[in-house]
């Protein structure tokens, strides 16, 4: 064992950390410290060497020298025989091997190889858990979303968050079911500091201070018209007036303790306006996750049932993006980046993997993907009908979102997937 030479003054008393404790019948290891005279007048050197009894060497059969001599003399010990080449099934053609210098299957031939070269990872830390809340005491199942509930904000929600935290999911996003009597054309309940969302945020932060709480910034849960913005009498969604309301909503949520506000409305200029409003109120630390590329998709149906937020008339195509458009997502990306967004989100997820990759390749900001209610419900339905293996398809779909470039995934599977990743059933 080689010596270690340490330069330090020789005036050494008791050296902390070198005391060895005796455990059972084992003798403690000892270190021999031998002073050495240095050529430097101001310093001396000492060598720390392992003593002969610092390791118990158990002799079995021949010594190392004898074993090496045998090998040199050509008397190597016998090893297990080379395993035979497995036989091919009867009828397999006998051919000359293909002249291939590259065979990618070599790196896929066993679970250990596949694990070693896996490019994308998936963990509970990647998930944001969307949770529906309401004013009731009981948890109400959502018919179109098996396994999902409108949770009572004081009890059921806390229990669900506790379950998620137990398996490593520590980020949630809240969606409120607002009483119809509180809905108005201008959605004023959205910025009521005593409203359902601010109350819930304060309760969660009191119970779980380190929980990351995302909020939804949009008027549709609070609008009597069911749209994300204020509707003019001719049916036009008013942009700038809506942004004014969204700023007040975001500030109210930040005041309650939200960590990330998430404008999902798709109004022009709302990210910059919200950033200015938050900063003016002293909430520079609150992040903005912008729904940068939110498409006017048919995959949202179950969600709207969950919140009873279907538009009273028309559709959302004048503010949400056309599913046929690809380059338009870059326009939204550049606008949100310049206005101060901290995270860029694509919604829906799996049908829009190309858009996730587009944003990933064109922005250094974190990218989020929302695996929406329609995606969730289709996998659930396929599993219930035994057409697919629900758990495997669930995990594959989430891995695909990560592979496309998503850093975080908003998914109703968050708890179920995290349990699966942790080895729970």
Q: Please report, rounded to a whole number, the percentage of residues in the chain having pLDDT higher than 70.
A: 85
Q: Exposed (0-12), middle (13-18) or buried (19+): which is 369, by Cβ within 10 Å?
A: buried
Q: Which residues contact 129 (CB under 8 A, 6 or more apart)?
A: 164, 169, 171, 172, 173, 410, 411, 412, 414, 415
Give catalytic status of residue 386 as yes or no.
no
Residue 35 has pLDDT above 80, yes or no: no
Q: How many domains does the chain have?
A: 1
Residue 44 phi, psi (nearest 5) = -120, 165
53-72 pLDDT per residue, tens: 555 556 668 899 999 999 99
Global model pTM greater than 0.85:
no
CA 280 vs CA 149, 193, 248, 275, 336: distances in Å: 37, 18, 12, 9, 19
Question: Does residue 352 lie in a domain region?
Answer: yes
Question: What is the C-alpha to C-alpha distance for residues 316 and 42, in angstroms, rounded to an integer?
Answer: 81
Which of 148-162, 202-216, 296-310, 325-339 shows the lowest mean pLDDT across its residues?
A: 296-310
From 183, 294, 316, 380, active-site residue: 294
Give catalytic status of residue 58 as yes or no.
no
Question: Does residue 227 lie in a domain region?
Answer: yes
254-280 pLDDT per residue, tens: 999 999 999 999 999 999 999 999 999
Question: What is the C-alpha to C-alpha distance for residues 393 and 401, in angstroms, rounded to an integer?
Answer: 12
87-141 pLDDT per residue, tens: 999 999 999 999 999 999 999 999 999 999 999 999 999 999 999 999 989 999 9
Closest CA to 47 of 84, 90, 4, 100: 4
Q: Exposed (0-12), middle (13-18) or buried (19+): which is 117, by Cβ within 10 Å?
A: exposed
Omega before 169 cis (within 30°)? no
Residue with tokens 């990618």: 104
User: Which residues, listed in sequence order, are joined to residue 223 by a DSSP beta bridge?
Assistant: 184
Residue 181 phi, psi (nearest 5) = -65, -20
Q: What is the CATH number of the domain that holds 313?
A: 3.20.20.70
Closest CA to 211 of 176, 178, 256: 256
Question: Does residue 93 lie in a domain region?
Answer: no
Residue 33 phi, psi (nearest 5) = -110, 115
Closest CA to 347 of 330, 324, 366, 323: 323
CA dihedral for 263, 269, 272, 278, sign (positive or negative)? negative
Measured at the alpha carbon of residue 184, what is the angle toward residues 176 and 173, in degrees to the nearest 5? Answer: 20
Question: Does residue 241 lie in a domain region?
Answer: yes
Note the pLDDT of residue 301.
84
Question: Does residue 202 lie in a domain region?
Answer: yes
Question: Does residue 416 lie in a domain region?
Answer: yes
Please state the rounded mean pLDDT for residues 193-216.
Answer: 98
Question: Does residue 16 lie in a domain region?
Answer: no
Structural domain range at position 197: 124-422
302-351 pLDDT per residue, tens: 887 776 667 788 899 999 999 999 999 999 999 999 999 999 999 999 99
User: Do the Cβ atoms of 271 and 248 come closer than 8 Å?
Assistant: no
Residue 253 phi, psi (nearest 5) = -65, -40
Residue 26 has pLDDT above 50, yes or no: no
Question: Does residue 46 lie in a domain region?
Answer: no
From 183, 316, 347, 380, active-site residue: 347
Residue 372 has pLDDT above 90, yes or no: yes
Residue 370 phi, psi (nearest 5) = -110, 110
């Amino acid at each position: 064992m080689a010596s270690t030479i340490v330069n330090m003054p020789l005036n050494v008393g008791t050296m902390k950390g070198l005391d060895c404790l005796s455990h059972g019948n084992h003798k403690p290891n000892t270190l021999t410290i031998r002073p050495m005279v240095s050529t430097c007048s101001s310093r001396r050197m000492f060598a720390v060497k392992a003593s002969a009894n610092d390791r118990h060497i158990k002799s079995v059969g021949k010594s190392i020298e004898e074993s090496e001599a045998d090998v040199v003399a050509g008397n190597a010990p016998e090893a297990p025989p080379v395993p035979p080449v497995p036989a091919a099934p009867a009828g397999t053609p006998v051919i000359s091997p293909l002249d291939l210098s590259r065979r990618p299957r070599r790196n896929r031939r066993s679970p250990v190889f596949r694990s070693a070269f896996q490019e994308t990872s998936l963990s509970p830390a990647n998930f944001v858990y969307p949770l529906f809340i309401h004013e009731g005491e009981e948890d109400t199942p959502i018919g179109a979303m098996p396994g999902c509930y409108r949770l009572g904000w004081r009890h059921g929600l806390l229990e669900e968050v506790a379950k998620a935290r137990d398996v490593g999911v520590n980020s949630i996003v809240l969606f409120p079911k607002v009483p119809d009597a509180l809905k108005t054309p201008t959605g004023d309940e959205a910025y009521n500091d005593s409203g359902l969302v601010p109350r819930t945020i304060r309760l969660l932060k009191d119970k779980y201070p380190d929980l990351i709480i995302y909020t939804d910034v949009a008027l549709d849960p609070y609008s009597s018209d069911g749209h994300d913005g204020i509707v003019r009498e001719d049916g036009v969604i008013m942009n700038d007036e809506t942004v004014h309301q969204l700023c007040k909503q975001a500030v109210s949520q930040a005041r309650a303790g939200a960590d990330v506000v998430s404008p999902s409305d798709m109004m022009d200029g709302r990210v910059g306006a919200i950033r200015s409003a938050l900063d003016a109120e002293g909430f520079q630390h609150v992040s903005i996750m912008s729904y940068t590329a939110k498409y006017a998709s048919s995959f949202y149906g179950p969600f709207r049932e969950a919140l009873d937020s279907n538009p009273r008339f028309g559709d959302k195509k004048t503010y949400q993006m056309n599913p046929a458009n690809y380059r338009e997502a870059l326009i939204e990306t550049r606008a949100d980046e310049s206005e101060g967004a901290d995270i860029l989100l694509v919604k829906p997820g799996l049908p829009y993997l190309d858009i996730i990759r587009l944003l990933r390749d064109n922005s250094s900001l974190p990218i989020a993907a929302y695996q929406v209610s329609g995606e969730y419900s289709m996998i659930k339905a396929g599993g219930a009908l035994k057409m697919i293996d629900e758990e495997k398809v669930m995990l594959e779909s989430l891995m695909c979102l990560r592979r496309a470039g998503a850093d975080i995934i908003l998914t109703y599977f968050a708890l179920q997937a995290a349990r699966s990743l942790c080895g729970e059933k």
